[in-house]
Amino acid sequence: MVNVSDGGAIADLIRPLRRSIDRVTGDGAYNTRSCYEEIAAKNAIMRVPPRDNAQYWEKGHPRNNAVFMMHQIGLSQWKINSGYHLRSLAEMAMYRFKQLMGDKLKSRQFNSQHTETMIKVKVINKMTGLGMPKYQQQS
């Protein structure tokens, strides 16, 4: 078993994608030069909060915008302005998935893991759909 950090896995996650990526949002683990390079290679915007003591990188680096804004308006306001606060919706979806379906896959082969994951996602979506209230407009 190999342990890989979040930031170390980003290349394997986005390089194979054939569709375009608009933005990538992640926590501080993605605040690395290599992550910025991978995202830039996909012509996407990186939404990662800089650390409180973050310094500017080389002139023109996209991370400098986030550092500048954080210094000007504060981290909380930066999160709202940049759309970073929406990340919590994705985190909640993953938490719900892991709570209902477990955090490990049974399958050993990649294609089987993909199929297993897609089945679990369809089950979650069906459960969510069944549990949602149906509204009727009052006349």
Question: pLDDT (tens digit, 9 = 90+) per residue, 16-75?
Answer: 888 888 988 888 888 889 899 999 999 998 898 888 888 899 998 989 988 999 889 988
In this prediction, residue 116 carries a pLDDT of 92
Question: pLDDT (tens digit, 9 = 90+) per residue, 88-130?
Answer: 888 888 888 899 888 888 999 988 989 999 999 999 888 888 8
Structure tokens at 4: 């890989």
- How far apart are the C-alpha atoms of 55 and 53, rounded to whole Å? 6
CA-nearest of 14, 95, 80, 22 to 49 is 80
Give the confidence band of 2 by pLDDT, cuts at 50, 70, 90. Answer: low
Stronger pLDDT, 84 or 1, i.e. the higher one: 84
Domain ranges of the chain: 6-85, 88-131
